Amino acid sequence: MISIVIPTRNRSYTLKKVLPSYYIQKHVSEIIIVDDHSTDHTKEVVDQFSGHYPNIKTKIIQNKNHQGASYSRNQGVNAASNNFILFGEDDAYLEGSYTEILLRKFQTNHTTIGIVSGRLILMYPTEDPKTSIQRFGNGNPKHKKLFHYTTCSHVPDAYFEGDVKLPLTHALILTTKELLLKFPFDIFYSKGNAYREESDFQMHAYTYGYDILVTNETHCMHLHPRDVRKGGHRIGHLKSLYYKIYYTNYFYDKYYNKLKSKDNLLLPKMMAITLYAFIQTCEFGFAVFRYLKKSFFSFFLTRKEK
C-alpha cells in the first residue's frame, strides 16, 4: 500500500481543485497533508474532502512555524504508515492511473530502481487535465535532450517513448520510506523559493547507485503559474534568481563531483556553477527585456489610439 504526502502552504484554493485526483488513486491507504503554518482555510478544505473518502485515512500535520518544504516532507515521511510513499503537490493533478502504474514499474524493476515518476505536464492557463494529456502525447519532438547537465535539470516536455532512466525527475515521485529515511530531505533549502529541495533527495539517491525511472504511461499535471498566484514559495523574480544560484551552488558542492565521476562529465565544478549562474542571469535578463518591450509597445499603441 501507498502513503501520499502533500506539503502545502496557503494553497487551499488549489487544493480544492487537485485533491480529488489523489483520493481516487489505487493502492493508497492514507493521505498526509503537511500544513506549513498556513493562514488560510487549508484545514477546512482537507476536512471536507476527507469526509467524502472514509476508506482512506487522512492525516493533517500542522507546523507550528513556517519551516519550509523539506522539513514538511520529512514530517510526512515520519508519519507515514506504509513503505511506499508518493509525494504530491498542492498545485498538481494526478492522472487516475498514476499510483497503479508507478507501483507496477517499481515492483518490476525493484532490484535497481529507487525512484519512479510519470511525465510532468505544464498545463496551459485554465486548461483541464484531460486536454493537457491529449495535447502532450509523448512530449515535444523539438526537445531532443532529456537532461541538461549544464544546469543539472531534466526537460519536462522532452520527447521519448516508453521508459527512461534519468539523474533527476520532477517532485511527484514514488519511492520508499526506507530510502527517504536513509537520505532525508535537506532542510537547508528552507528559505526563498526552496529551489533544489526535491532534487537534493533524488541526486543523493542517484549518486549512491539508485536508478530513477520516468515512464510515459501515466502523467501528473501542474497548474499554470497564472492559476497559482499566491501561497507556496512565491517570491519576486530577482529574489528567485538569487536563490536559484545560491541553492545550486550548495547543491553542486554536495553532489557535482560524484555526478561528474558517475556520468563522465568534462566540466570541473567551479566552471559548471559559473556557467549555471551565467545561463540563469541571461535568461532573467531576456525575460526583463521581453517584458519591457511588450510594455513599451502596449503603451505606444495606447497613446496612438488616443
Identify whether residues 255 and 218 lie together within a single domain.
no
79 and 104 inside one domain? yes
Residue 52 belongs to a domain: yes
* Residue at 247 is within a domain: yes
Mean pLDDT of 242-265: 96
Residue 197 lies in a domain: yes
* 147 within domain boundaries: yes
Dist. CA 92–CA 89, nearest whole Å: 5
258 and 141 co-located in one domain? no
The H or E element that residue 203 is part of is: helix 197-207
- Report the alpha-carbon distance of residue 306 to residue 301 in Å, rounded: 9
Question: pLDDT tier at 44 (50, 70, 90 boundaries)?
Answer: very high
pLDDT value at 305 more than 70: no
Please, which residues bridge with residue 219 across strands? Answer: 119
Residue 10: the pLDDT is 94
How many Å apart are CA 180 and CA 103, to the nearest integer? 16
Give whole-number Cα distances, 175 to 6, 23, 97, 184, 219, in Å.
14, 19, 16, 12, 16
130 and 218 fall within a common domain: yes
Q: What is the DSSP string of 235-260?
A: --HHHHHHHHHHHHHHHHHHHHHHHH
- What DSSP designation does 88 have? -
Last residue of some domain: 178, 205, 227? 227
Q: Based on the number of CB atoms within 10 Å of its own CB, is 291 exposed (0-12), middle (13-18) or buried (19 or more)?
A: exposed
Q: How many Å apart are CA 203 and CA 129, to the nearest integer?
A: 29
pLDDT of residue 284: 81
- 126 SS3 class: coil
Give CA–CA dist 148/165, Å, rounded. 14
Q: Report in angstroms the alpha-carbon separations of 189 from 166, 193, 202, 230.
A: 23, 8, 14, 20
Q: Which domain holds residue 298?
A: 237-305
- Does 232 map to a domain? no
Q: Which residues contact 25 (CB under 8 A, 6 or more apart)?
A: 2, 4, 86, 94, 96, 98, 99, 100
Same domain, 178 and 93: yes
User: Do residue 213 and residue 273 come from a single domain?
Assistant: no
Q: Computed from CA positions of residues 289, 292, 295, 297, in that sequence, does the dihedral angle turn out positive or negative?
A: negative
Note whether 85 and 181 are same-domain residues.
yes
- Sequence-distant (6+) residues with CB within 8 A of 28 are 1, 2, 3, 4, 22, 56, 86, 99
Confirm whether 53 is domain-assigned.
yes
The enclosing domain of 118 has a CATH number of: 3.90.550.10
Rounded average pLDDT over 222-245: 85
In whole angstroms, what is the distance from residue 245 CA to residue 258 CA? 20
Mean pLDDT, range 288-297, rounded to an integer: 67
Domain termination residue (choose one: 174, 209, 227): 227
Same domain, 36 and 104: yes
Match 527585456 to its residue by C-alpha cell: 289
Beta strands 92-94 and 173-176, pairing class: unpaired
- Same-domain pairing of 143 and 245: no
Report how far residue 299's alpha carbon sits from residue 301's, in angstroms, rounded to the nearest whole number.
6
Is 143 part of any domain?
Answer: yes
Q: Are residues 150 and 249 in the same domain?
A: no
The tally of domains found in the chain comes to 2
pLDDT tens-digit series, residues 6-41 = 999 999 999 999 999 999 999 999 999 999 999 989
Span of 97-101, 139-143, 234-238, 267-271 with lowest mean pLDDT: 234-238
Stretch among 33-37, 86-90, 110-114 having the lowest mean pLDDT: 110-114
Q: Of the candidates 227, 259, 285, which is a domain's last residue?
A: 227
d(CA 299, CA 235): 27
pLDDT (0 to 100) of residue 132:
97
In 3D space, the residue among 224, 246, 187 whose CA is nearest the CA of residue 36 turns out to be: 187
298 inside domain: yes
Q: Is 22 found in the same domain as 131?
A: yes
> Are 31 and 173 members of one domain?
yes
